[in-house]
Chain A
Amino acid sequence: MTGTILGAPDVARALTRIAHEIIERNDGAADIVLLGIPTRGEPLARRLAQRIADVESGFDAADRCGSLDITMYRDDLHKQPTRSIGATTLPAAGIDDAVVVLVDDVFHTGRTIRAALDAVKDLGRPRAVQLAVLVDRGHRELPIRADFVGKNIPTARSERVAVHLEEIDGEDAVILTGGER
């Protein structure tokens, strides 16, 4: 099953569905803040915010969206070459008492999300934290689950899942490569 798993229309449909699920789950979007995890979580968060704004009047996409760099909270820093640190930007109103939806492209071991939860804790006290991902490829190493999933893709550990996004890569696609077949 290597090759392009999701094309641009699939990505768009998945995001639209997730946006609606977020609204439904939270009885509207009143307290929703979307925090994208760099790099590709950021544009995904912006797209979700835009889709929510499209259906929820009073939801200002630019004002409810931010980015959450988790580099300094990672538990594997000492196992890799030094990573450069990305920006963390929060909505002007902060995240206290908000419902924070963390947004990432690929959900894998859960360690990134663990780091993100720690980072959120240092930034304020949200009423709830939820997780939206475009792809869930399995192989969890921590008791963490996603609230909103674009597509579940069963993978081998040796395979690689690459998410391409228009804003960064010039196209929307999810591509599976590598692995022993």
Chain B
Amino acid sequence: MSDAFVIKGASLYGDTVRDVAVVDGVIVESAPASAVVIDADGLVLLPGLVDAHTHLREPGREDAETIETGSRAAARGGYAAVYAMANTNPVADTAGVVEQVWSRGREIGLVDVFPVGAVTVGLKGEHLSEMGAMAHSRARVRCFSDDGVCVYDPVIMRRALEYVKSFDGVVIQHAQDLRLTQGSQMHEGEVSAELGLAGWPAVAEESIVARDVLLAGHVGSRVHVQHVSTAGSVDIIRWAKSRGINVTAEATPHHLLLTHEEAKTYNPLFKVNPPLRTSEDVEALRDGLADGTIDIVATDHAPHASEDKDCEWAAASFGMLGLETALGVLQQVMVDSGRMTWRDVARVMSETPARIGRVEDQHGRPLEPGEPANLTLVDPKAAWTVEPAALASRARNTPYAGRELPGRAVATFLRGVPTHLDTRFEGVFA
């Protein structure tokens, strides 16, 4: 890692053109004359992206994704760090499992893998897992989530919110009323009525979001709402923030772009939890993201083996890939439409996600001398067509197959090491 390089001509945050020099993985004032030059004319330089919501599937479903293939997908998508969700097999509910995931991530070295610990043992919603042990392990877990299922019991949710305060943790909630969504297949509305697919009502999310922000306010703790999907949830979070409640929220790229109309082809690639909603919901999410009610964009990258998607809608698994397409989708939806700047993108895809997981000492740092060189170079003019077979993820379940996205990450650096380089940079580091 003693390589020195200089990124020339990039626009930092899309608004300030300045050369950035890196020596030994750290941004420096100026590079030695021998430094490798990366011509970044016309490119945008951002702090390395941080995904607060990734499923790496290892251990347990290595046929769908591994820490290695997921890390590669993340690097290609411009990510320098991911939070790996706990719903693996075995569940990440002990210090042993989270340390294993964390160290495997280090070993591969393409992104920093920060394991998320389960809130309850086995994600069963019955007993709190040993969150303290996970927090004090080498993995230094600060994020806890039963993602995939909701922490449904209000008493357990309250205790979890209280308990994580002792190590400045956060409870990350998958907000879904289990009783209101038994057998649910898609957003409950006009399309579900027509298709005869069991509905997943918006209220099943909103009622849990409302309960949880009130609980967080009551016990003075921190709650993070995953994959906000409805206009009602945005309203509730906006209200909670106005009351000073310590709540953060994420939106996924797919909920910012796609609607429940996609289900009309019964193509299970569009089956996701929470489901794709109405265009009004999509608009409310964009508004919420633009005005800061929604703090971050997180992918909910959910790889699935082909047999879990190549089947009847009702039999298919929930979830879609996201790491390699998130930046392009966000650019299309928010940047190219003029609703956000690249500086905003740095905030919602790097700085704030790092802060939520308390890794802001390492990630989402300013592009200043002395800071770790976790960097993402974006080409906002590199329009590309999504081809499932060309993705680095082991799985192929992208909902964007054949769709054109306006831009992509062309280089990613983790502490100065290039973890992804577009073909245009081939040989630069040779």
A–B direct touch, CB within 8 Å, in complex? Answer: no
Residues of chain B having any CB pair with chain A under 8 Å:
none
Residues of A near any B CB (own CB < 8 A): none
